[in-house]
Amino acid sequence: MTDSQKPPHWELDRLYVRDSASLKAELESLDTQSRSFMSYRERLSSCEPVDISELGQMIEKLEKVTILCERISSFAHLGFAADTSDQKALSFLLSSEEMLAKHYNDTIFFEMWWKNLTDSEAQPYMDALKAHSYWLSRMRAFRVNTLSEAEEKIINLKDLTGSESIVKLYDTITNSYRFRSDFWPDSDQRWLTREELSVHIRSHLPEVRAGAYQELYRVYAQDSAVLGQIYQVLLRDWNTEKVGLRKYPSPRAVRDKANDLAPQTVDSLLRVCRQKAPIVFGRYFKKKAQKLGLKQLRRYDLYAPLLPSEDTYTFPEGLDEVEKAFRSFDQKFADLAMNVPRERHLSAEIKPGKQSGAFCASTVPGEVPWVLMSYTGNRHDLFTLAHEFGHAVHSQLAADLSVFNFHSALPLAETASTMAEMILARSLRQKASSGPEIEDLNFKLLDDAYATVGRQVFFALFEVEAHEMVAGGATTEELAEAYYKNLAGQFGQSIELSNEFRWEWLSIPHFYHTPFYVYAYSFGQLLVYSLWRIYEREGAAFVPKFLTILSRGGSASPDNILAEAGLGPLDDDFWTGGFEVIESFLD
């Protein structure tokens, strides 16, 4: 492979350079601006009312402090993600988090003052400061879960050496894993990274698929005592703080509120998915088994391709496929996506120590996001690239918003990314030269539908159970048994399960990083199926409406944004409609 064909490595020095004079100057500026903002403490403590223009000035100063904090924090996290074995990167991440925690504690008095206003006192400010009204109202929504200022400061500092350090430990351990390649007959490589190993779960050879999964969970199972203990510590910390101190009614309620979703909406999503997913995907698994000439799918075969081989793409070829697909949808959508590689904000190479998986990190409004993935050249990587570029488009369309409502709520955060995958799938289907190729792509869509709807919902159901079990003193072995029963529940008689999958939960970073994040994927996928039906009906007229949804960022609740787009209510019928689209792929 020539240098021009190799996947790129991002250039983080376009953000900052560690130990540089410019970064030092930014840190000094942050300190100066924080001290300047702290001068408002005495003003807010006085009995004199704050007029609207004065509050606007305070918010403007707080925005500047927040933007600096976000940029420095992003730089530190991106550097660590690029190489989790780099001790200097870890040291800078830890020191930057300590500094940022201090600055947050120095400015928290504003948030406390705002939450302590009565509704009648707060409303005139929100009416006048329209650009910030949703952010201001969201802060007040958490009044009942807020502790005293002193307690909030202690928790903020405690997390640095508590839960956040434990998560970094998990990342450092698991990102250092190396996997044997002797299950693969053509292997000329002794050790594989997780990303390289994951390629083989989509092999056309049944024994290679089985070997890849067995090797993956052999390594995780070896550390099950440590990884299981880390998980239990994180869950205990979550329950102690969120339920015990902050008085959330349940562990999941923390995420529901952060997502600005009514508990009934999430209950409806989980209920419909729990009922529908085993039936709809059970039909799919049986059909796929027939196509593969198998009596029954093994769990190893879930993502098996229909064809014995599929196209591979050099990085430039893969990038070109994604760009062409996006341009067939909308020029602006494509232009914003291509800003990521154009600005060298893409890390797609494979290397030891790099964070596994993929993500898109948006720093602040107006700056091109950063995307990390490990590009191996198969078709699945094209969809990963499209997915993360979709996130990048979303944040760039929201660039005119304040840093406080720039990031969308998690349930809508998957809208652009999932739509991007649908756009790519349509493009590849149109390009396919034969019926079997088109069928293979349709099955790929069904694979993704299962992975994003069925799998993620049962992940969320496991999390609910795991929190209850850990609170009751469950062991790692008992959690593994509960997870295996969860798998049996979602697959029923349609999939043959092997025992090593009881350790799969140890390998899911979201469980450790962001509890209950996972149901946002199911929400986003079923939402996009509804949007895609509108797009197929309206064509190009739909695109401006879709871009408007994305441009709202986090400036309103998911319910309001979707209602404005003519979607909803988000009830059982809405989610059932998404499953009807999945069933249409089967017919």
Check pLDDT > 80 for residue 2.
no
Section 362-385 average pLDDT = 94
Other CB atoms within 10 A of residue 563 CB: 14
Task: Read off the pLDDT of residues 136-165 as tens digits, 9 standing for 90 and up.
Answer: 999 999 999 999 999 999 999 999 889 999
Residue 441 and residue 310 in contact, taking contact as beta carbons nearer than 8 Å: no
What pLDDT sits at residue 285? 96
- Which residues, listed in sequence order, are joined to residue 361 by a DSSP beta bridge? 370
Residue 463 and residue 515 in contact, taking contact as beta carbons nearer than 8 Å: yes
Q: Which amino acid is at 561?
A: I
Residue 105 and residue 157 in contact, taking contact as beta carbons nearer than 8 Å: yes
Helix 21-38 vs helix 87-116: angle between axes, to the nearest 10 degrees?
A: 20
Check pLDDT > 80 for residue 433.
no
Torsion sign (Cα): 405, 410, 412, 418: positive
Mean pLDDT score of the chain: 93
83 contact partners, CB below 8 Å, separation of at least 6? 89, 351, 353, 354
- DSSP three-state, residue 343: coil
- Which residues, listed in sequence order, are joined to residue 347 by a DSSP beta bridge? 372
Residue 165 and residue 103 in contact, taking contact as beta carbons nearer than 8 Å: no
Task: Read off the pLDDT of residues 178-188 as tens digits, 9 standing for 90 and up.
Answer: 999 888 776 66
Structure tokens at 290: 């027939």
Task: Read off the pLDDT of residues 235-280 as tens digits, 9 standing for 90 and up.
Answer: 999 999 999 999 999 999 999 999 999 999 999 999 999 999 999 9
Section 502-517 average pLDDT = 97
Confidence band, pLDDT 50/70/90 cuts, at residue 126: very high
Q: Domain spans of the chain?
A: 12-156
Confidence band, pLDDT 50/70/90 cuts, at residue 1: low
Q: Which residue has the higher pLDDT, 103 or 190?
A: 103
The tokens 């006085």 sit on which residue?
A: 46
Task: Read off the pLDDT of residues 341-357 as tens digits, 9 standing for 90 and up.
Answer: 999 999 999 998 899 88
Q: Supply the CATH classification number for the domain 12-156.
A: 1.20.140.70
Q: DSSP strand E in 366-434: where?
A: 370-372
- The fraction of the chain above a pLDDT of 70, given in percent, is 99
Check pLDDT > 90 for residue 370.
yes
What pLDDT sits at residue 188? 66
**Rounded CA separation 239/245 (Å):** 9
CA distances to 41, 246, 342 from 147, in Å:
18, 7, 45
Residue 229 and residue 476 in contact, taking contact as beta carbons nearer than 8 Å: yes
Confidence band, pLDDT 50/70/90 cuts, at residue 445: confident
What pLDDT sits at residue 212? 95
